[in-house]
Each structure stands twice: as structure tokens, then as C-alpha cells.
Amino acid sequence: MHTQRFEEKLKKHITSKYGTKCLSEASSTKKGFHDYHKRIANLTMASYVFTSVLSLATAMSPAGTGTRTRFDKAALVLVSALSLAALFTPAAAKVNVGTGFGYEIEGNWVFIQTDLDYDLPFSNIVTYAHLPWERCFNLAHNNPFDIAIVGFPFDTTVSVKPGARYGPRGIRAGSTKEKPGRTYNVNYGLDWATNWAKIIDCGDVPVTPYDNAHAFIQMEQGYRQLLHKDVVTPALAPPSLDKTTHPRLISLGGDHSIMLPILRSLKSVYGPISVIHFDSHLDSVNPTKGYSGVVSEQSKFTHGTFFWHAAQEGCIANSSVHAGLRTKLFGLGDYENDQEVGFSIIHARDIDDIGVQGIIDKIVAAVGDKMAYISVDIDVLDPGAAPATGAPEAGGWSTREFKRILEGLQDLNIVGADVVEVAPDYDTNAEITSIAAADMIIDIISAMVKKGPLGGFKSKSSKDEL
Ligand SMILES: [Mn+2]
């Protein structure tokens, strides 16, 4: 009984410290799992000692009122002997490896079952940062999570170089050395994987490459399905319209048009969103005014026009900001139109005049405490740092500068994020674009974890507090 109560308390402790994933063998972090088993083993040993000492003491004590028989004494001695024997008998490994094989980890017998149950940087099935993969789109899926990675392998609205349909795969491969057990992010001062949030990889939305109209429906359906899953850690005062806590999603593109179904979904949950748009391009071009290549209603929806559509549909708050711009325009009318859409503009070269902090200050001033979304077109980086993208533009920011800018946004209310336009077929053999993309996602996750659930943690006195 005592052991059961201790186990319950311990489960609660581990859940709060490492997340619920530590309690399932399949997805445990090594530290959490080991911690758990070590404590159980220690407790079991302590109870053996306690039982044997108590039994011996009772057996040796003089009989009281004459009710104790020799049989009682013999039974007590037997119990104490069995307890002592159990104490000095090492636990046998329970894994069946057949006969004639004596593998054992010296001095570590509690852990023998978990030695092979963890990842190396280069081992195992590729998920983002070795996070547990769940088939979130299966209708039977009902596991709560707080933050999820989801891929949109879609690139059939690209105007220059296609290939971003392989972006989710590329970014996951680029994340391979990020893994549980090595997740302390010095820049944010926390371990993003073993903090309060349950973080998983939901895999990809299977988006058709044959019919863009249908593809946009699939993407919105997929995003909404995830957005309406339950969370593990509900917020005190969720900022959503329905006052429930929704998970936060980090999307892997895919070309940039995946944002249209994402913004449509977010509008239904939070209302119009302030978009922090890192890109060398505007992506808000009015397809009915000067944009080349429009041949049909559907062809108005591209990776260069989706913000215009999103604005028409009321998805974007008038406190959005482009940062990193440096592309050529169809004409100055593009900027006039962009202001109507609701963006302010920060050029890539502004960093030479106002520095990283100046860029951060402008973004924070534009967005304030509104619900914000971070969208990173990888072409915001200089092609020297990220060559593998759909429409590269010379003269961008370095990866280091960009990471500092992201770091400056950690106090904002980030409801979701994406990294798009990674087209791995144009990458170097060293995967520099995918590595940069994967690394900035670690920073975005770290910021979300550091901020806590949007709407705050419930107070310590609350019953739901973990
Ligand atoms: Mn873009």
C-alpha cells in the first residue's frame, strides 16, 4: 500500500518535472525514466530492510500475555529471512534474449531494460529532434499535447524554384543532433524538452500536389484538427475566443502559401492575428494588380499573394510586421498595397543602422501584447547561410543575427509559428539550410516553453496544478 502511494506521488512529481511522456516506456526521456526506476528501487530496498528488522525484533521480543506461540515466532523469523534474502538478491533482467548470452551493465542493474531504449544523434526513425511521433490525424488519436511539430509537404504555388514539399523531411533531418538528454538551451536558460510542456511530432498533413484548391482544404482541415486537440497543461485564462486552451503548432513548410489555411484556422480560434513575417519578399502582392502569371481564379493563390487573400478574409491584425525585406518590386504600389493589408516594414539592411536590438524594438512595438504568429521564410537568411530555398535573394541576415532577433521576441504572445520555403534539393551536402531551419525551431519552442501556457499557469492552490 505504502509503495503504491509513493508511486502515485512520484508519478505526479515526474509528470510535473519531465512531462507525462516520461511515464510511458515508449516515449520516456532517459533521465526521467531512470529517475523514476531508481527511486522505486530505493524504496523497495528500504521496505525490505524495514520489514526484516521489524520481524526480527518482534520475534526476539519476550511473549506478552502468552498469546504468542512457537508457530508465531517461526513465522516471523521466516518473514525476516525472506526479506533479507530479497534485499541481497539482484533483480534479474526481464528482457528475453534467449540463451547463451550474458549481457549485463556493470553496477547498473536497475537500468538494464532501458540501455537500448534511447537515441543517438544519428540513430532511429527521423522525427523532429527525436520527439515521439504520434499519428495525430488518425481519428482514434486522443492524446493531449501542448506543442506539436507538423509538416506541410506542399510546393505547387511556387513561382521560381519548386522543392519545398521535401522541406519537412529536410528540416527533420537537419534536427538530428537535437535530442532528449541534450536539450538545455543556454540562450533561453532552460531545458525545453523536460520542462512543463508535452511536445510531440505529429508527422505531415498529406497534401495533394495535383489540385491546389483541394490542397488548401486539406491543410486547413489538418491544422484545425490539431488546434482543437486537448492540452496537458491548461492555462489560467486562455486568450482564445472560446476560452479553452489550444495547443501551439510549429509548422514545417512547404511553400509559404501554407500560411493561408493556417491563418484561416487561427482566426477561428483567436480572431485576427498579428503576423511577424520574416522574409526577403512581401508575399502580400495583390494578384489583380500587376502580379504576373495569373490565369485563373485558383492561380491567384500563390506563395507571393497569400497575405493579400488573408487580409481580404480578415485574418491579419493591423499590427503585423515584415522583417528582412530586400526583394525587387513590381512597383512602389506593392508597398502601398502592403500598408492596406496591415503590415509595417523592416528592411534587411536596416540592421546596419539600428542593429539587432533596433530590429527587435520595432517588432515588439508593432505587436505589443496582441496574439502573434511567427512565420519564417528561410530566405530571410542570406543565401550563403540558407541557399536551399524557392526564391533566394542576396544580402540577407546571418543565422546568428536572426537567432538574436528571435531571442528578443520571447516575451510576446506567440500562438504558433512556421519555418517555410526550405527546399532541400538545393542544399549543400552539409545541409546548412536544413540545420539553420531546425535550429531556429528549437529557439521558437524554447520561447514558447519559457513563456508558459498563454494565459498563465494556474496558481499553486488550484486543484489542476501538476
Ligand atoms: Mn515568403
pLDDT in tens, 228-247: 999 999 999 999 999 999 99
* Predicted confidence (pLDDT) per residue in 78-107, tens digit: 766 766 665 555 554 456 778 887 665 554
As given in the structure block, the three cell numbers for residue 371 are: 496574439
What's the CA-to-centroid distance between 430 and ligand 1, angstroms? Answer: 24
What's the CA-to-centroid distance between 275 and ligand 1, angstroms? Answer: 13
- The answer on 154 and 251 residing in a single domain is yes
- The answer on 135 and 88 residing in a single domain is no
What's the CA-to-centroid distance between 267 and ligand 1, angstroms? Answer: 20
- The answer on 283 and 161 residing in a single domain is yes
Q: What is the pLDDT of residue 31?
A: 47
- The answer on 137 and 21 residing in a single domain is no
The last residue of a domain, from among 77, 111, 145: 111
What is the rounded distance in angstroms from the CA atom of residue 50 to the CA atom of residue 58? 12
* Predicted confidence (pLDDT) per residue in 193-225, tens digit: 999 999 999 999 999 999 999 999 999 999 999
- The answer on 154 and 10 residing in a single domain is no
The last residue of a domain, from among 58, 81, 111: 111
* Predicted confidence (pLDDT) per residue in 23-70, tens digit: 443 333 444 444 444 555 555 556 556 666 666 666 666 654 445 566
* Structural domain harbouring 23: 2-111
What's the CA-to-centroid distance between 21 and ligand 1, angstroms? Answer: 35
- The answer on 213 and 244 residing in a single domain is yes
- The answer on 174 and 286 residing in a single domain is yes
* Predicted confidence (pLDDT) per residue in 125-159, tens digit: 999 999 999 999 999 999 999 999 999 999 999 99
Residue 459 lies in a domain: no
Residue 463 lies in a domain: no
Question: Is the four-CA dihedral 420, 285, 361, 367 of positive or negative sign?
Answer: negative
Q: What is the pLDDT of residue 458?
A: 81
What's the CA-to-centroid distance between 389 and ligand 1, angstroms? Answer: 10
What's the CA-to-centroid distance between 130 and ligand 1, angstroms? Answer: 28
Residue 123 lies in a domain: no
Total structural domains in the chain? 2
Q: What is the DSSP pairing of strand 248-253 with strand 371-377? A: unpaired
- The answer on 374 and 267 residing in a single domain is yes
Residues 55-79 as b/e (b if ≥16 CB within 10 A, e otherwise) read: bbeebeeeeeeeeeeeeeeeebeeb
- The answer on 135 and 39 residing in a single domain is no
Residue 205 lies in a domain: yes
The last residue of a domain, from among 63, 86, 111: 111
- The answer on 250 and 168 residing in a single domain is yes
What is the rounded distance in angstroms from the CA atom of residue 425 to the CA atom of residue 428? 8
Vertex 149 angle, CA 425 and 166, to 5°: 15
- Report the amino acid identity of residue 34: H
- The answer on 198 and 251 residing in a single domain is yes
- The answer on 223 and 362 residing in a single domain is yes
Q: What is the pLDDT of residue 87?
A: 57
- The structure's pTM equals 0.79
